[in-house]
Amino acid sequence: MNLNQLSQNLNILARSVGAFLKHECENFDVSKVEMKGFNNLVSYVDKEAEEQLVKGLRTLLPEAGFITEEETDNTKGDRYNWVVDPLDGTTNFTHGLPAYSVSVGLMDGDEVVLGVVYEPNRDECFWAYKGGGAFCNDKQINVSEAPALKDSLIATGFPYYDFGLTQQYLQVLGSFMGRSHGVRRLGSAALDLAYVAIGRFEGFFEYNLNAWDVAGGAIIVREAGGKVSKFSEGGDYIFGREIVASNSRIHQEMLDTIAEHWKGTDA
């Protein structure tokens, strides 16, 4: 498999789906929003975008299976699986906020080997494949060189339906607020990861995420020179529902800051 060529073809597909998202956002009818659960929004746009992606991905790599958010196709492959989020940042999209993205990762067994995150409003396509470096459009990118948490801007996400760990999380958030240049919440984990890769953020952390939220962006961070883990070293950050991504230099500080307050479901 030629991962470089596959990346190029995936970029074209992601841009096409992203153009569809941007067009639909300009005239979006909020009355067409459905609720998958409390504060868990979905629309015809999510579903149509995923159908477009799955159709194109089947052509790019016929032997691959799928792990999809909207369940257009969740037939697992023997070796390769596409992990697809057709619209990461649906709540932003439905409110007309220009912070959403298309996110796709390709897994070879348990390892993500290729990822693309496309943000249509700025026309920025972030992409990477194993051993090939990370890029934004045609320019190679690298993580920030900020040496410490005190020099860093941090991104996170807030829980929107499972509030059982809110107090722990607020304590963690407070610690980061007092030790960094600040904390931002964009509302798209895929974009948060892409922005760590390009150096706009030094770090990102969030819990209760799904594989499709992080698979595409995680490899872009790693190929840009960053580090990715769970809230502690080791573990499966793709399916483990919590993630810390950083420029590598501040990673241990981030883990230590989280560990001061975070007890997870054991609290």
Structural domain boundaries in the chain: 3-141, 149-266
46 marked as part of a ligand binding site: no
List, for residues 27-40, the tens digit of each pLDDT value: 776 665 665 444 34
Strand order in the sheet with 153-156: 182-184, 153-156, 203-207, 242-246, 227-229
pLDDT band at 267 (very low <50, low <70, confident <90, very high): very low
162 marked as part of a ligand binding site: no
Which CATH code fits 3-141?
A: 3.30.540.10
88 marked as part of a ligand binding site: yes
Strand order in the sheet with 134-136: 65-68, 80-88, 101-108, 111-119, 124-129, 134-136, 139-141
List, for residues 237-254, the tens digit of each pLDDT value: 999 999 999 999 999 999
**Which two structure tokens, joined as six digits, stand for 242?**
């919590």
pLDDT band at 257 (very low <50, low <70, confident <90, very high): very high
The pLDDT, as a whole number, for residue 39 is: 39
69 marked as part of a ligand binding site: yes
**Which two structure tokens, joined as six digits, stand for 128?**
């990477």
List, for residues 63-107, the tens digit of each pLDDT value: 999 999 888 888 999 999 999 999 999 889 988 999 999 999 999
213 marked as part of a ligand binding site: yes
- Nearest CA-CA partner of 56 in 100, 24, 86: 86
The pLDDT, as a whole number, for residue 38 is: 44
Residue 153 has, within 13 A of its CA and on its CB side, a CA count of 14
SS3 230: coil
Which CATH code fits 149-266?
A: 3.40.190.80
